[in-house]
Amino acid sequence: MPSALPLGLPAPSDGVLPEQAREGAAERNFGLYVHIPFCAVRCGYCDFNTYTATELGGGGSQDQYAGTVHQELTLAGQALDASGVPRRPLSTVFFGGGTPTLLPASDLAGILSEAVAQWGLVEGAEVTTEANPDSVTEESLQILAAAGFTRVSFGMQSAVPHVLKVLDRTHSPERVPQAVEWARRAGLKVSLDLIYGTPGESLEDWRHSLTTALSYGPDHISAYALIIEDGTKLAGRIRRGEVPPIDDDDHAEKYALADELLTAGGFQWYEVSNWARTPADECRHNLAYWRGDDWWGAGPGAHSHVGGVRWWNVKHPRAYAAALTPGTSPAAGREVLNDHDRYVEDVLLRVRLREGLAVERLEPAGRHAIAGLIADGLIEGADAIRGRLRLTGNGRLMADAVVRRLLPD
Partner 1 sequence: MSPMARTAPVPAATDPAIIRNFCIIAHIDHGKSTLADRMLQLTGAVEQRDMKAQYLDRMDIERERGITIKSQAVRLPWEVDGTAYALNMIDTPGHVDFTYEVSRSLAACEGAILLVDAAQGIEAQTLANLYLAIENNLTIIPVLNKIDLPAAQPEKYAAELASLIGGEPEDVLMVSGKTGVGVEALMDKIVRDLPAPTGDPNAPARAMIFDSVYDTYRGVVTYVRVVDGKLSPRERIQMMSTRASHELLEIGVSSPEPKPSKGLGVGEVGYLITGVKDVRQSKVGDTVTNLAKPAAESLGGYQDPKPMVFSGLYPLDGTDYPVLRDALAKFTLNDAALVYEPETSAALGFGFRVGFLGLLHLEITRERLEREYNLDLISTAPNVEYEVTLEDKRTLKVTNPSEYPVGKISEVREPMVSATILAPSEFIGAIMELCQQRRGILGGMDYLSEDRVEIRYRLPLAEIVFDFFDLLKSKTRGYGSLDWKADGDQVSDLVKVDILLQGEQVDAFSAITHRDKAYAYGVMMTGKLRELIPRQQFEVPIQAAIGSRIIARESIRAIRKDVLAKCYGGDITRKRKLLEKQKEGKKRMKMVGRVEVPQEAFIAALSSDESKDKAKK
Q: How far is the CB of 289 from partner 1 (least distance, A)?
A: 5
Q: What are the beta bridge partners of residue 313?
A: 331
Q: How far is the CB of 348 from partner 1 (least distance, A)?
A: 6
**CB 408, min distance to partner 1, A:** 8
Looking at the Cβ atoms of 67 and 292, the one nearer to partner 1 is 292
Secondary structure letter of residue 52 according to DSSP: -
Note the Cα 383 to chain centre separation in Å: 28
Distances (CA, A) of 213 to 96, 169, 264, 268: 21, 16, 13, 15
CB of 172 to partner 1, least distance (A): 25
* Residue number, 130 or 281, with CB nearest to partner 1: 130
The CB-of-397 to partner 1 minimum distance in angstroms stands at: 5
Q: Which positions touch partner 1 (CB under 8 A)?
A: 1, 3, 7, 33, 35, 48, 96, 224-225, 227, 248-249, 251-253, 255, 272-273, 289, 295, 297, 301-305, 310, 312, 335, 341, 344-345, 348-349, 376, 378, 394, 396-401, 403-404, 407
Contacts 24+ apart (CB under 8 A), 301-306: 301/35, 301/37, 301/49, 302/33, 302/34, 302/35, 303/33, 304/33, 306/17, 306/21, 306/25, 306/80, 306/83, 306/85
125 vs 141, beta carbon nearer partner 1: 125
Nearer to partner 1, 99 or 304 (CB): 304
Measure the CA–CA gap between 409 and 54, rounded to whole angstroms: 48
b vs e for 328-363, b when ≥16 Cβ sit within 10 Å of the residue's Cβ? Answer: ebbbbebbbbeeebebbbbbbbbbbbbebbebeebe
Closest separation in Å from C-beta 248 to partner 1: 4
DSSP type of residue 44: T
Backbone angles phi, psi at 402, to 5 degrees: -60, -45
The answer to whether 114 and 54 are in contact (CB under 8 A) is: no
> What secondary structure letter does DSSP report for 133?
G
- Specify the pairing of strand 388-389 against strand 30-36: unpaired
d(CA 230, CA 211): 32
- Name the minimum Å distance from CB 326 to partner 1: 26
Return all residues near 125 (Cβ < 8 A) that are at least 6 apart.
Answer: 89, 90, 91, 92, 93, 150
- Evaluate whether 223 touches 273 at the Cβ level (below 8 Å): yes
What minimum distance in Å lies between the beta carbon of 252 and partner 1?
4
Question: For the chain, how far is it from start to end, CA to CA, in angstroms?
Answer: 9
Comparing CB distances to partner 1, the nearer of 145 and 262 is: 262
Q: Return the number of the residue (233 or 251) whose C-beta is nearest partner 1.
A: 251
| CB closer to partner 1, 249 vs 360 | 249
Q: Give CA angle at 335 (330, 341), nearest 5°.
A: 150
Tell the smallest beta-carbon distance from residue 225 to partner 1 (Å). 4
CB of 345 vs partner 1, minimal distance in Å: 6
Which residues are CB-neighbours of 376 under 8 A, at least 6 positions away? none
Q: What 3-state DSSP class applies to 6?
A: coil
Select 117 or 401, whichever has its Cβ closest to partner 1: 401
